């Protein structure tokens, strides 16, 4: 089983700040890493797929990078609407996918 | 793009069974890999199962031997048969097409 560990678990930030969330895999997963945003009582929304591929309709302030075991989600110029929990998700191992534990972002 | 609509959730006693459905429109279920993901109240996302276009299926250790993922091409619907349910299976269950498209979820509560 591939374990994904996100950091931090929680972050309180001010609008217009730059935010970086990291996701570390317990073994190499190539670029099979995806990022989601989830707001209360909503389904997860895909932000970035395959580590760095942008998604149509997602604001350009969201970007992803990394490969192998270390990945980063960056939010440039944070907006109030970005308050949410963010998850990474790996689809490298067909025997079992997994999610990170989540990073809750609070806007001050 | 398509749409996914889950149904079949509800209250069930420990040891009971439930079958979740995920009706798809706008795309063909059998031509895509489909997954089930669950989220216990106040907790994070947990991958449950996957079925590939070729028919191969895989499960999380926590549900292996109790849950079965399947699909019906004639109804373009994905299923999750859940047996021997436990309190810890209580969660919102989501189906998804690949990584991009998710349903709104159906709530399963296991309690006496």
Q: How far is B102 from chain A (nearest CA, A)?
A: 7
Asked if the model's pLDDT at residue B11 lies above 90, the reply is yes
Q: Which helix (H) or strand (E) holds B101?
A: strand B101-102
- State pLDDT tens for residues B66-111: 999 999 999 999 999 999 999 999 999 999 999 999 999 999 999 9
Most B-contacting residue of A97, A102, A104 (CB-CB within 10 A), to test interface: A97
| Listed residue (B9, B16, B10) closest to B83, CA to CA | B16
| Chain B residue whose CA is closest to A32 | B99
pLDDT at B1 over 80: no
- What distance in Å separates the CA atoms of residue A94 and residue A101, rounded to the nearest whole number? 20
Among left, alpha and beta (phi > 0; psi -120 to 50; other), residue A68 is left
pLDDT higher than 80, residue B25: yes
- Is the CB of B65 inside 8 Å of chain A's CB atoms? no
State residue B73's pLDDT score: 95
- What pLDDT is stored for residue A94 in this prediction? 72
Q: Is the pLDDT of residue A95 over 80?
A: no
Closest CA to A87 of A1, A3, A2, A6: A6
Spatial CA neighbour of B36 closest among B51, B25, B24: B51
Mean of the pLDDT values across residues A24-53? 97
pLDDT, tens digit, 9 for 90 and up, residues B42-71: 999 999 999 999 999 999 999 999 999 999
Q: Tell whether B36 is within 8 A of chain A (Cβ).
A: no
């Amino acid at each position: 089983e591939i374990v994904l560990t996100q950091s931090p678990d929680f972050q309180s930030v001010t609008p217009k700040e730059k935010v970086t969330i990291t996701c570390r895999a317990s073994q190499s997963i190539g670029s099979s890493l995806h990022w989601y945003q989830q707001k209360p009582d909503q389904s997860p929304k895909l932000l970035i797929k395959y580590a760095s591929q942008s998604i149509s309709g997602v604001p350009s302030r969201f970007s992803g990078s990394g490969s192998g075991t270390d990945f980063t989600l960056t939010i440039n110029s944070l907006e109030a609407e970005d308050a949410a929990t963010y998850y990474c998700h790996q689809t490298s191992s067909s025997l079992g996918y997994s999610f990170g534990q989540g990073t809750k972002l609070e806007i001050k | 793009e398509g749409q996914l609509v889950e149904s079949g959730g509800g209250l069930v006693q420990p040891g009971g069974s439930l079958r979740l459905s995920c009706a798809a429109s706008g795309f063909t279920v059998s031509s895509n890999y489909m997954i089930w993901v669950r989220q216990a109240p106040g907790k994070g996302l947990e991958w449950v199962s996957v079925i590939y276009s070729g028919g191969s299926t895989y499960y999380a250790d926590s549900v292996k031997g109790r849950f079965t993922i399947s699909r019906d091409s004639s109804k373009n619907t994905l299923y999750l048969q859940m047996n021997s349910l436990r309190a810890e299976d209580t969660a919102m269950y989501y189906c998804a097409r690949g990584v991009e498209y998710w349903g709104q979820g159906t709530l399963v509560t296991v309690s006496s």
